[in-house]
A and B are shown apart, each in its own frame.
Chain A
């Protein structure tokens, strides 16, 4: 199409400038609600600018102007054509008690796989320590677990309560942040086709299996349960759910049955991955607080049956949350209304 460029630019420039001003305003305040008239005007300007861009394509003289119109249309395209809901309000309770468990159940196979890999790791840890006790130095990365379990139990039980409380806030903060980093890492490693996630889960299982075997063999089962259950019943499932997220990511890389291109498949999973890892972060904050402020107190300060009972109550609550929370959300999704 041959056009008189100068006349064209002269006529269209005011519209382009108005359009650019509107785009600048949107950039400055993306969340601001606009009136119907403003939206209509914005749409009109978008169509007019797009039309101008189409008329210029293929002409010899338009390079600079085409780039200008290109930039305007590119900036507006997402505003005009995005149909996915973009939430601005947060509903943290609804999200944690409904969306998170519902998402967890939707990808339960990922959790089952993560659990299985961890259990295999546990079995390996038990087996390795059973046939070669000297391998403890290699299997366990934490200094306080390398000694004799009975000696550690005696030392812990003889500590004065005043000393136990020292530094617990900073300790809890370190636990929360460290565990959340590990969880994020477990999920992120899903991009390695799940290999990294599986290695991490397996290694976690090895450590757990070795610790359990070491303390049970030393006759310190009650201490072990009293020490680990209060925070472990939340922390260990949280890491498993992070692994589940990693395996969901890996499965999306492999899954070709949907017929969608890889990019579309990945984009479709980002919401679920975010929900899973967000739920994991909340669980790990809770576990960090329990570990920092409760798990470190042993008998005679806190009787073990109380700690074990507390852990079992937590475990029941977590199972209920994951199994029952957000059932209505499942039904709505089955009905195909919305996520």
Chain B
């Protein structure tokens, strides 16, 4: 265990391609656990209702069954779902989390069993305090059960290919008249800085007017430090239009 933590787990395939898994933090895992607790409570309520009918014939048999079913459901809920549902309980599925082998491989049944049985220690003394502390101290947000089973919990955010064309209605882009400056900008802008402008454009409608003006002013000022376009290309352009033009030349080079 160390103090520094990663939010992604990078895995290099035998083909030499690196891909990353986004690790789930303690809070989102806690929320998933709360949802699972609700599910277990619901299942036990249903079982309790059914066993009331059985109790009409034999109250002792009803009580015995209820004790057994409570135990099986509380221990087996996560084991059953994580095994048959590719590492996802209902709570995890709802929050797009998944348990995985730390090497990115498929879970083995032994791993599922061990990580869930170790909840008995992780949940001590109350509300997963030990597991939560272990999670916070661990680089990969692993609780003790994850450490013993060599598993991690990852987030699978829904990602789809962005439809860039929708962001750029066919308007004249004055920057395209300066191909050497466009080429220099594309060469010098980093992937994350280019994505910053794209993200700002994608989310512009979610911002109020003041925040939108401030945001595009800052992004445009930053882009101006990378490459300065001549005044005749920028005259009359708002900061937002400035950013839009640059994102356009980066993401749609052949328009």
Which residues on A are within 8 Å of B, measured CB to CB? Answer: 4-7, 9, 13, 16, 26-27, 30-31, 47, 50-51, 53-54, 57-65, 67-71, 73-75, 77-79, 81-82, 84, 86-87, 166-170, 172-174, 176-177, 180-181, 184-185, 187-192, 196, 249, 263-264, 266-267, 270-275, 277-278
Cβ-defined partner of B105 (8 Å) among A77, A167, A174, A189? A77
Are B150 and A185 in contact, CB atoms less than 8 angstroms apart? no
Q: Does B27 contact A (CB under 8 A)?
A: no
Instruction: Collect the chain A residues with CB atoms within 8 Å of residue B150's CB.
Output: 263-264, 266-267, 270
Are B251 and A61 in contact, CB atoms less than 8 angstroms apart? yes
Assuming the contacts A78-B105, A170-B64, A267-B101, asked whether A63 and B13 have C-beta atoms less than 8 A apart, the reply is no
Assuming the contacts A68-B160, A82-B106, A266-B150, asked whether A73 and B68 have C-beta atoms less than 8 A apart, the reply is no
Instruction: Collect the chain B residues with CB atoms within 8 Å of residue A73's CB.
Output: 13, 17, 19
Are A170 and B19 in contact, CB atoms less than 8 angstroms apart? no
Are A68 and B161 in contact, CB atoms less than 8 angstroms apart? yes
Cβ-defined partner of A64 (8 Å) among B65, B118, B161? B161
Q: Does B102 contact A (CB under 8 A)?
A: yes
Minimal Cβ-Cβ distance residue in A for B84: A30
Cβ-defined partner of A188 (8 Å) among B102, B110, B120, B162? B120
Are B190 and A60 in contact, CB atoms less than 8 angstroms apart? yes
State A62–B159 Cα separation when bound (angstroms).
13
Minimal Cβ-Cβ distance residue in B for A292: B64
B192-200, B205-213, B214-222 - interface stretch: B192-200
Assuming the contacts A68-B160, A81-B13, asked whether A174 and B110 have C-beta atoms less than 8 A apart, the reply is no
State A216–B193 Cα separation when bound (angstroms).
80
Instruction: Collect the chain B residues with CB atoms within 8 Å of residue A70's CB.
Output: 19-20, 159
Q: Does B61 contact A (CB under 8 A)?
A: yes
Instruction: Collect the chain B residues with CB atoms within 8 Å of residue A79's CB.
Output: 106
Assuming the contacts A68-B161, A270-B110, asked whether A167 and B254 have C-beta atoms less than 8 A apart, the reply is no
Chain B 98-142 interface mask (CB, 8 Å, partner A; 1/0): 001110111011110110011011000000000000000000000
Instruction: Collect the chain B residues with CB atoms within 8 Å of residue A263's CB.
Output: 102, 150
Assuming the contacts A67-B159, A73-B17, A172-B64, asked whether A191 and B148 have C-beta atoms less than 8 A apart, the reply is yes
Instruction: Collect the chain A residues with CB atoms within 8 Å of residue B184's CB.
Output: none
Are A169 and B61 in contact, CB atoms less than 8 angstroms apart? yes
Minimal Cβ-Cβ distance residue in B for A73: B19
Are B121 and A185 in contact, CB atoms less than 8 angstroms apart? yes
Assuming the contacts A61-B251, A62-B191, A70-B20, asked whether A78 and B117 have C-beta atoms less than 8 A apart, the reply is no
Question: In the assembled complex, how far is the CB of residue B238 from the closest CB belonging to chain A, in whole angstroms?
Answer: 23
Assuming the contacts A61-B191, A87-B109, asked whether A267 and B149 have C-beta atoms less than 8 A apart, the reply is yes
Question: In the assembled complex, how far is the CB of residue B96 from the closest CB belonging to chain A, in whole angstroms?
Answer: 11
Instruction: Collect the chain B residues with CB atoms within 8 Å of residue A185's CB.
Output: 120-121
State A7–B253 Cα separation when bound (angstroms).
11
Instruction: Collect the chain A residues with CB atoms within 8 Å of residue B104's CB.
Output: 74, 77-78, 81
Are B161 and A184 in contact, CB atoms less than 8 angstroms apart? no
Q: Does B250 contact A (CB under 8 A)?
A: yes
Q: Does B63 contact A (CB under 8 A)?
A: yes
Are B162 and A170 in contact, CB atoms less than 8 angstroms apart? no
Instruction: Collect the chain A residues with CB atoms within 8 Å of residue B198's CB.
Output: 63-64
Q: Does B179 contact A (CB under 8 A)?
A: no
Q: Does B182 contact A (CB under 8 A)?
A: no
Are B13 and A77 in contact, CB atoms less than 8 angstroms apart? yes
Are B250 and A266 in contact, CB atoms less than 8 angstroms apart? no
Minimal Cβ-Cβ distance residue in A for B65: A173
Minimal Cβ-Cβ distance residue in A for B100: A78
State A263–B101 Cα separation when bound (angstroms).
10
